[in-house]
Structure 1
């Protein structure tokens, strides 16, 4: 565990870790020496040997001074590493998250990452700053006392050394049961955090369906699971703590029994017996402290495991240098891909999107349409084949360079809890206010700003909660317009909008796609009909391709799809006559 924790220490503080361990070790040895020296000091005092008592007291004073001096050093160094570690480790985790495939985040709970970045990092930091000294002291001091007792009474020393493996095995047993329960609590707490966040963000939906309070079964179930996991952790930790404490006390009783037996047999004097009992109590003290800290140590060790596991997640390989981009085209060559082994989503997909053209991808749900866009943006790496953007394999381009030449507008728009202006500027941070407002005007966001209390400076709420779905899409399109990238990946999200909002969003989309290379997962008939190329997908394959007229002429899958969509657009509700 110690090696794993030290591996998490930032590089600028790594050089201090040997100094910290050395200070703790020397302090613990001085403490052990002080405990061992109690025996001759007390024995000399009880025997009335004042001169001998003074000689041993000088040695005891030197040992105590070492405890104080090296204790101060380890406290300062440990605190320095711990404080620096919290910020450094969070920065390291943030950098690592930035280098993971974008698709990795689609399967992760925000609550789990939040708990890991804050609570788990704090536990690991506390392990270095405070708990490490207590943990090493709990091992070194008893061992040092046991070895030092060889020079006082070998039988007591042998009993102490014999107890060590027993206590180790009991602690190992307690760790195993605790670790499994702690992992269950972490998962339950992460789910509960996510459900609380969801509960706060989805109040309009929850209230409209009466799912607040006791009616919100998902939140209640998550909180109940967290309570059960916390109770399980308690029941898993308490037995181990009790058993370990009982074993420690049993060791102390055995030591006292041995001392009393020697007095009874006349092997040692009553004064020596008192001294040995005092040393035995000092031998037990660090073990009792270790038992009391056991839960905190195991929790910190589990936190270190989770942090290490996240840092071990494979990052998206990045090239050493970027290639000069060619014309803005997108090419799929025999691409196959699955999100997990044995479950293929795309099979030998091949097509080309020529520069300045629009390719519409249509088909039934689950055909793999959105996956195509995600592979073009390298959310994941393909299993076989290759994806080329601007003439180069996406794997030979850095994520910054690749995504810098793309504007992505997907169905689920996320806005930051900042002003309208700042949310649009995220598309190009160096843009001027005039450029931001020009992009906003093209997407008709200026109409939104006019009705907000603080106009452009109004915060849009977490996730854009203060705006409607259509308004969030307009801000997203304005952001993409400001970026002015040559390749546009568009997952149309107008099907859930009212006709007025849809008309405004569609105008913004037309402005966004003009003169650019566009791949669009199309839902609107007008977008499909005007595309330069249409790819009709089923079960991860392209089963038909061509222009709108060509595919209608085939009178096959696409024609049936078109006719069904056309009939659906003519549906309307009419009042029933009685």
Structure 2
């Protein structure tokens, strides 16, 4: 557990944890040794001259005071360390997430990472602030007391020592059983959370169908499975708790019987027996707490494992000697790309000269969006080469490659900030005049004029206070402000009404002017003026030419056009 924690923290933060562990271990040993003074205290109290107990009582008081100081320092170190390390882990996780390729962020993984970054990191780092000291105390203090018992009477100490492997075996057995239950419960809880979100998002559909008061079967099933998993985990924990309690009580009973036997035989004094029993009773409390602490520790460990998996995920490799692209032409050379066991792009060769516009059309699932993602290096290809400016994208530094592209997606995400702040993401150093010019070119003037606070109006989480067309205008303004030489457009106008589509198309025309453009669209009218059109199907290009040439071929593109898949204008 400590090794896993240190690996997650990294070298920068591992050393403070080691110091905290040493301090907490020392505190636990001092606590156990302080109890050794109970033997001479009780021996004096039950002896012929009880006043002889005073020196030992004073020594015990100093020992307890020393333990209290060490406990304060170790707890303070744990709390301060936990706070510092929590901040450090958040920074480390954030840096790692920023390095991982965009293609890594699948829908399910985004949900898992969001839970991990909120509750998961807090639970994992609670080990240092809240669990480390009790766990070390529960393990080290009883062992120290057993050593003290061995020093006063080897028979009583040996009897107590015999319980150690039993307790360890029970904890190991319980850990193995509960790990399975914890994993199942985690999976079921996440499934239930996903179904709750799905149920909330499906409210318009359910209400439109008059089913708003009915049960949602997938959610009901997920909640029932989560409840069953929780009950199974509880049933799994009961034998461990009972077994540990039985082992501790058995140890105490054996010591009581053995001490009585030795006292009756005059092999040991009554005071010593009483002191050993007091020490044994002091062992019982921390040992019994191991069951509860073990459960908390296993829960934190499962989060640490998930955190470690994310931190150990390899980002796309950076070139050791980055090469600057020579121009802004694009090329796919015998490119093959597979995802989830399926070939998405198969031996595709395609070029886009600098300054030209390429439109990619085809049925859903043909791999159109994937081509844009490969150009921006969201993924690395399995075979072949993707080139920008004649240079393999794998040989271009990430920052340089990113600066070459302005990307406008169909689904636009805006931060819960003002319109101006969202546009500035395209170029944070741009002056106000440039920002306003980009917004005007994207058709945002009328939107800003009707907002209550104009430029200072927050757009809400994910831009919820704006319509889809208005969010798309912000996205285009952001791309205009970035002023990148290559523009990638992915189904930009497919979900817009005619008015918003007209405004957005005007903004897109300004964005594309003088740039190398690759656009994906289902509405074929939006691509008819492209310099070149390719029809993609079956993971490869099956038709290539201008709009007029492809219509004359009377192939798949012409069929799409004739089938009315383009809006009338």
Q: Same fold (TM over 0.5)?
A: yes
Judged with a 3 Å threshold, the aligned counterparts in structure 2 of structure 1 residues 96 and 209 are, in CA distance, closer, same or farther, namely: farther
Report deviation, 1:454: 2.2
Conserved? CA contact 2:324–2:396, under 8 Å: no
In 2, the alpha carbon distance for the partners of 1:283 and 1:36 equals 12
Judged with a 3 Å threshold, the aligned counterparts in structure 2 of structure 1 residues 192 and 404 are, in CA distance, closer, same or farther, namely: farther
Give the equivalent residue in structure 1 for 2:165. Answer: 165
In 2, the alpha carbon distance for the partners of 1:434 and 1:465 equals 26
Give the equivalent residue in structure 2 for 1:28. Answer: 28
Judged with a 3 Å threshold, the aligned counterparts in structure 2 of structure 1 residues 479 and 226 are, in CA distance, closer, same or farther, namely: farther
Gaps of 5+ in 1: 572-578
Report deviation, 1:356: 0.4
Report deviation, 1:254: 2.0
TM-score, normalised with respect to structure 1? 0.91
Paired residues for 1:230-245 under 5 Å = 230-245=230-245
Conserved? CA contact 1:188–1:226, under 8 Å: yes
Report deviation, 1:11: 5.1
Paired residues for 1:149-548 under 5 Å = 149-194=149-194, 207-210=207-210, 212=212, 214=214, 221-320=221-320, 322-340=322-340, 342-548=341-547
Please state if 1:143 is matched with 2:143.
yes
Report deviation, 1:62: 5.0
Structure 1 residues 135-144 or 1-10, which shifts more?
1-10
* Helix, strand or coil at the partner of 1:437: helix
In 1, the alpha carbon distance for the partners of 2:169 and 2:106 equals 42
* Helix, strand or coil at the partner of 2:105: helix
In 2, the alpha carbon distance for the partners of 1:446 and 1:213 equals 43
Judged with a 3 Å threshold, the aligned counterparts in structure 2 of structure 1 residues 435 and 189 are, in CA distance, closer, same or farther, namely: farther
Judged with a 3 Å threshold, the aligned counterparts in structure 2 of structure 1 residues 226 and 110 are, in CA distance, closer, same or farther, namely: farther
Deviations 1:355-375 (CA, angstroms, capped at 9, x unpaired): 000111111111111111111
Deviations 1:428-450 (CA, angstroms, capped at 9, x unpaired): 12222221221122121112222
Conserved? CA contact 1:326–1:391, under 8 Å: yes
Report deviation, 1:224: 4.7
Give the equivalent residue in structure 1 for 2:104. Answer: 104
Report deviation, 1:55: 5.7
Judged with a 3 Å threshold, the aligned counterparts in structure 2 of structure 1 residues 237 and 397 are, in CA distance, closer, same or farther, namely: farther
In 2, the alpha carbon distance for the partners of 1:422 and 1:503 equals 25
Report deviation, 1:354: 0.6
Conserved? CA contact 2:359–2:533, under 8 Å: yes
Conserved? CA contact 2:424–2:478, under 8 Å: yes
Conserved? CA contact 1:201–1:465, under 8 Å: no
Give the equivalent residue in structure 2 for 1:560. Answer: 559
* Helix, strand or coil at the partner of 1:488: strand
In 2, the alpha carbon distance for the partners of 1:451 and 1:221 equals 46
Report deviation, 1:378: 0.9
In 2, the alpha carbon distance for the partners of 1:400 and 1:226 equals 44
In 2, the alpha carbon distance for the partners of 1:214 and 1:91 equals 44
Judged with a 3 Å threshold, the aligned counterparts in structure 2 of structure 1 residues 189 and 348 are, in CA distance, closer, same or farther, namely: same
Conserved? CA contact 2:333–2:385, under 8 Å: yes
Conserved? CA contact 2:45–2:51, under 8 Å: no
In 2, the alpha carbon distance for the partners of 1:248 and 1:36 equals 20
Give the equivalent residue in structure 2 for 1:87. Answer: 87
* Helix, strand or coil at the partner of 1:293: helix
* Helix, strand or coil at the partner of 1:497: coil
Judged with a 3 Å threshold, the aligned counterparts in structure 2 of structure 1 residues 273 and 146 are, in CA distance, closer, same or farther, namely: same
In 1, the alpha carbon distance for the partners of 2:462 and 2:207 equals 19
Judged with a 3 Å threshold, the aligned counterparts in structure 2 of structure 1 residues 510 and 204 are, in CA distance, closer, same or farther, namely: farther
* Helix, strand or coil at the partner of 2:533: strand
Give the equivalent residue in structure 1 for 2:127. Answer: 127
In 1, the alpha carbon distance for the partners of 2:240 and 2:191 equals 27
Report deviation, 1:149: 1.8
* Helix, strand or coil at the partner of 2:448: helix
In 2, the alpha carbon distance for the partners of 1:183 and 1:54 equals 55
Report deviation, 1:263: 2.8
Judged with a 3 Å threshold, the aligned counterparts in structure 2 of structure 1 residues 214 and 81 are, in CA distance, closer, same or farther, namely: farther
Judged with a 3 Å threshold, the aligned counterparts in structure 2 of structure 1 residues 229 and 421 are, in CA distance, closer, same or farther, namely: farther
In 2, the alpha carbon distance for the partners of 1:420 and 1:205 equals 30
Structure 1 residues 511-520 or 529-538, which shifts more?
529-538
Give the equivalent residue in structure 2 for 1:68. Answer: 68
Conserved? CA contact 1:339–1:345, under 8 Å: yes
Structure 1 residues 36-45 or 387-396, which shifts more?
36-45
Report deviation, 1:563: 2.2
Judged with a 3 Å threshold, the aligned counterparts in structure 2 of structure 1 residues 212 and 225 are, in CA distance, closer, same or farther, namely: farther
In 1, the alpha carbon distance for the partners of 2:205 and 2:421 equals 27
Deviations 1:4-29 (CA, angstroms, capped at 9, x unpaired): 11333465543333322222222211
In 2, the alpha carbon distance for the partners of 1:306 and 1:263 equals 55
Conserved? CA contact 1:39–1:279, under 8 Å: no
Report deviation, 1:556: 2.6
Structure 1 residues 221-230 or 168-177, which shifts more?
221-230
In 2, the alpha carbon distance for the partners of 1:243 and 1:96 equals 43
Structure 1 residues 317-326 or 435-444, which shifts more?
317-326
Deviations 1:364-396 (CA, angstroms, capped at 9, x unpaired): 111111111111111111111121112222112
TM-score, normalised with respect to structure 2? 0.92
Conserved? CA contact 1:110–1:194, under 8 Å: no
Report deviation, 1:500: 2.1
* Helix, strand or coil at the partner of 2:358: strand
* Helix, strand or coil at the partner of 2:282: helix
Deviations 1:205-252 (CA, angstroms, capped at 9, x unpaired): 564455656555555555555444444443333442233223222222
In 2, the alpha carbon distance for the partners of 1:462 and 1:362 equals 32
In 1, the alpha carbon distance for the partners of 2:151 and 2:510 equals 89
